[in-house]
């Protein structure tokens, strides 16, 4: 019950925050013309939109619409047809989502639905489609890790979840059906038709060790400390923000922060800000890097990324379906590498990805080996 109240409180705060961000966004883009202009301008300048007749990239735009006239062959046409934004009926929601990701603001699809007014499934689709597009660009700077490392946050059932089983068991079953471990691979018609492979019996020890280490780290804290600890990341957060978002009083937050610092979980940095302490992350990696497990499996820096991602998912989405892991990891790389993933980079990835339809995403199953983003430093 206490847990439930805590979550409701946090959710109410997140909703207020998103409502305010949406108000600012609407002030900046008051009309649908402003929205289309912002959505398409960069793609046109970057020559990512082609004439369907002659492949020219020179367009005269009809102001504020998705129509343009090819300056080469003179055809008027839709600038979004066949591309990432084709069939988009709520461009305002798409632009807002892109802007949120570019400014490292993450919210659950449910909150986005409540504040922006698109259906919950549309909200989820928008974020997954962007995650998918970003994921297409991650090849060069990622390593592959087993999806079982993320089992901890698989709370939503998917079509892959065995009947009557918890979603976390999906991994186990999925492992037996392993058909294709290439990241981004589209699933075969039926996974069950595939021969059983034994090289997929994963390093369960490592996965369990990560999960146990994280659990025991969080569980060892007081309730107030946990409220603060789940808000910490490698991005500095100001004491005022931590106090407000934790729902604690000023003295409660101050004493929790002091204790977290002493416990080696939080680090204070100049400007009255806090980050998740290196020692907390190493404590987790220390367990995984122990003598009884295969050290060659994950590097310390990879463990750190996995740990951060698990905290991120728990905080923003509470949990996810294993099926979508790949897209969420890609989205997470926008958060992890904020210098790389500014608005232009995210928008470019989307236009280069082309059309990402609902069916496309629905048929997608995260492969057993997923791309793990790399920390930029």
When the beta carbons of 73 and 176 are compared against Zn ion, the nearer one is 73
Using alpha carbons, select from 312, 357, 336 the residue that is nearest to residue 128.
Answer: 357
What's the CA gap between 355 and 33, in Å, rounded? 22
**CA torsion sign, 114 to 120 to 124 to 130?**
negative
When the beta carbons of 10 and 72 are compared against Zn ion, the nearer one is 72
* Under rule CB under 5 A, residue 239 binds Zn ion: no
- CB atoms near residue 306 (< 10 Å): 25
Looking only at Cα atoms, what is the longest distance across the chain?
Answer: 69
Which tokens is 29 given? 């883009």
When the beta carbons of 73 and 275 are compared against Zn ion, the nearer one is 73
Choose, by CB under 5 A, the member of 43, 70, 79, 353 that binds Zn ion: 70
Stretch that binds Zn ion, among 3-11, 73-81, 192-200, 266-274 (CB under 5 A): 73-81
Using alpha carbons, select from 109, 150, 133 the residue that is nearest to residue 184.
Answer: 133
* Under rule CB under 5 A, residue 71 binds Zn ion: no
Which residues ranging from 24 to 53 are in contact with Zn ion (CB under 5 A)?
51, 53
Taken as a whole, the chain contains a residue count of: 377
Stretch that binds Zn ion, among 65-73, 119-127, 221-229, 296-304 (CB under 5 A): 65-73
When the beta carbons of 40 and 284 are compared against Zn ion, the nearer one is 40
Say if residues 70 and 56 touch (Cβ distance below 8 Å). yes
Which tokens is 267 given? 């680090």
Stretch that binds Zn ion, among 72-80, 129-137, 153-161, 252-260 (CB under 5 A): 72-80
* Under rule CB under 5 A, residue 72 binds Zn ion: yes
| Strand-by-strand arrangement of the 266-269 sheet | 237-238, 273-276, 266-269
Stretch that binds Zn ion, among 29-37, 63-71, 214-222, 292-300 (CB under 5 A): 63-71
**Nearest distance from residue 73's CB to Zn ion, in Å?**
3
Stretch that binds Zn ion, among 71-79, 110-118, 178-186, 343-351 (CB under 5 A): 71-79
Choose, by CB under 5 A, the member of 12, 16, 32, 54 that binds Zn ion: 54
List, in sequence order, the alpha helices (H) in the chain. Answer: 2-28, 32-45, 91-102, 109-116, 120-136, 170-176, 204-219, 223-229, 239-246, 250-262, 278-288, 300-317, 325-336, 343-353, 358-362
Residue given tokens 């489609």 in the structure block: 129
**Nearest distance from residue 113's CB to Zn ion, in Å?**
39
**Nearest distance from residue 68's CB to Zn ion, in Å?**
10
How many residues sit close enough to Zn ion to count as binding (CB under 5 A)?
Answer: 7
**Nearest distance from residue 53's CB to Zn ion, in Å?**
4
- CB atoms near residue 186 (< 10 Å): 11
When the beta carbons of 38 and 73 are compared against Zn ion, the nearer one is 73
Query: What is the chain's Cα-based Rg?
Result: 22
When the beta carbons of 53 and 139 are compared against Zn ion, the nearer one is 53
When the beta carbons of 69 and 90 are compared against Zn ion, the nearer one is 69
* Under rule CB under 5 A, residue 56 binds Zn ion: yes
Residue given tokens 């977290």 in the structure block: 260
Stretch that binds Zn ion, among 2-10, 67-75, 101-109, 273-281 (CB under 5 A): 67-75
Which residues ranging from 241 to 270 are in contact with Zn ion (CB under 5 A)?
none
Helix (H, G, I), strand (E, B) or coil at 217: helix
When the beta carbons of 49 and 287 are compared against Zn ion, the nearer one is 49
When the beta carbons of 70 and 257 are compared against Zn ion, the nearer one is 70
Say if residues 147 and 210 touch (Cβ distance below 8 Å). no
Name the residues that contact Zn ion, by CB under 5 A: 51, 53-54, 56, 70, 72-73
């Amino acid at each position: 019950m206490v847990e439930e109240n805590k979550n409701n409180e946090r959710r109410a705060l997140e909703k207020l925050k998103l409502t305010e961000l949406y108000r600012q966004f609407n002030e900046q883009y008051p009309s649908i013309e402003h929205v289309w202009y912002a959505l398409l301008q960069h793609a046109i300048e970057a020559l990512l939109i082609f004439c369907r007749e002659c492949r020219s990239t020179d367009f005269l735009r009809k102001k504020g619409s998705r129509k343009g006239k090819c300056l080469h062959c003179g055809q008027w046409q839709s600038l979004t047809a066949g591309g990432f934004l084709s069939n988009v009926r709520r461009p305002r929601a798409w632009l807002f989502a892109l802007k949120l990701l570019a400014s490292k603001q993450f919210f659950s699809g449910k909150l986005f639905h409540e504040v922006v007014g698109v259906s919950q499934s549309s909200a989820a689709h928008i974020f997954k489609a962007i995650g998918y597009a970003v994921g297409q660009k991650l090849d060069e700077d990622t390593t592959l890790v087993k999806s079982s490392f993320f089992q901890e946050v698989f709370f939503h059932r998917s079509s892959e979840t065995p009947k009557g089983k918890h979603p976390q068991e999906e991994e186990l079953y999925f492992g037996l059906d392993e058909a294709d471990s290439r990241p981004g691979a589209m699933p075969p018609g039926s996974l069950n038709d595939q021969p059983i492979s034994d090289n997929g019996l994963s390093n369960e020890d490592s996965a369990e060790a990560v999960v146990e280490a994280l659990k025991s780290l969080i569980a060892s804290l007081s309730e107030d400390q946990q409220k603060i600890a789940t808000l910490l990341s490698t991005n500095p957060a100001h004491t005022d923000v931590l106090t407000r978002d934790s729902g604690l009083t000023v003295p409660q937050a101050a004493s929790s922060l002091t204790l977290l610092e002493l416990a080696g979980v939080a680090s204070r940095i100049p400007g009255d800000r806090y980050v998740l302490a290196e020692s907390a992350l190493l404590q987790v990696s220390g367990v995984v890097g122990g003598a009884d497990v295969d050290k060659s499996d994950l590097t310390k820096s990879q463990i750190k990324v996995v740990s951060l991602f698990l905290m991120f998912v728990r905080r923003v989405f509470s949990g996810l379906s294993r099926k979508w892991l790949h897209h969420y990891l890609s989205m997470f790389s926008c958060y992890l590498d904020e210098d790389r993933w500014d608005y232009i980079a995210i928008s470019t990835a989307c236009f280069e990805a082309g059309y990402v339809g609902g069916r496309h995403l629905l048929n997608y199953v995260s492969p057993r080996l997923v791309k793990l983003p790399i920390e930029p430093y």
